[in-house]
Structure 1
Amino acid sequence: MLVRIVKMGFYKQNIDVFLEDFNNHKHHIRNFEGCSFLELYRDANDPTVFFTYSYWENEDALENYRKSELFSEVWGKTKPLFSKPPKAWSVEKLISLE
């Protein structure tokens, strides 16, 4: 399993636009082939910073999403809203405690 973490900073005036668009697409992203988990977080100290956290079967599944029409639509709407370049990490989960 591949865990994808994306950090995004938005201009204050664009936050509601981002949240509305995320809510409109979250089920499509989560149900994309190869995605088994999706969450959205907001930084506790900076309300303009958000993180997406998603699980993918493997790197190929993530790449298929990144090459999809869905990603093009979502990213095309989200990218102009950024106040700074996004950062992304692909990591492997080693330990999980509940």
Structure 2
Amino acid sequence: MFIRIVKMRFQEDKIEAFLENFEQIKHKIRGFEGNQFLELYQDKNDNRIFFTYSFWETEAHLEKYRHSELFNEVWTYTKAMFSDKPEAWSVDKVASLP
């Protein structure tokens, strides 16, 4: 499994538009080949900061998504609303406690 975490900070007046768009496209992302899990988090102290947390079967599946028409549409729309450069991490799960 391949885990990807992306941190995004939005312009305050763009948050609602981002959330509306995410609501419309989240099932497409989740349904993309190789995606096993997708969540969106919002920071408790700064409502402009969001994180996506996604599980992919392999790094190749994430790369296929990142080179897809779907990603191009999502990212082109989303990045125009950022107030800072996004950050991304690829991580391995070390422990999980249900």
Superposed pair shares fold, TM > 0.5? yes
Are 2:33 and 1:33 equivalent residues in the alignment? yes
Tell me which residue corresponds to 2:55: 55
Runs of 4+ off more than 6 Å:
none
* Residue aligned with 2:80, SS: helix
Give, in whole Å, the separation in 1 of the partners of 2:33 and 2:95: 24
Aligned CA RMSD, in angstroms, stands at 0.4
Unmatched 5+ stretches in structure 2: none
Residue in 1 aligned with 2:75? Answer: 75
How far the C-alpha of 1:34 sits from its partner, in A, is 0.3
Shift of 1:94: 1.7
Supply the distance in 2 between the matched residues of 1:90 and 1:33 (Cα, whole angstroms): 18
Instruction: Give the AA of the match of 2:89.
Output: W
Aligned-residue sequence identity (percent) comes to 59
Q: Deviations over 1:29-81 (max 9, x none)?
A: 00100000000000011000000000001110000000000000000100000
Aligned amino acid, residue 37 of structure 1: F
**Aligned partner of 1:66: which letter?**
R
Structure having the higher strand fraction is: 1
TM-score by length of 1: 0.99
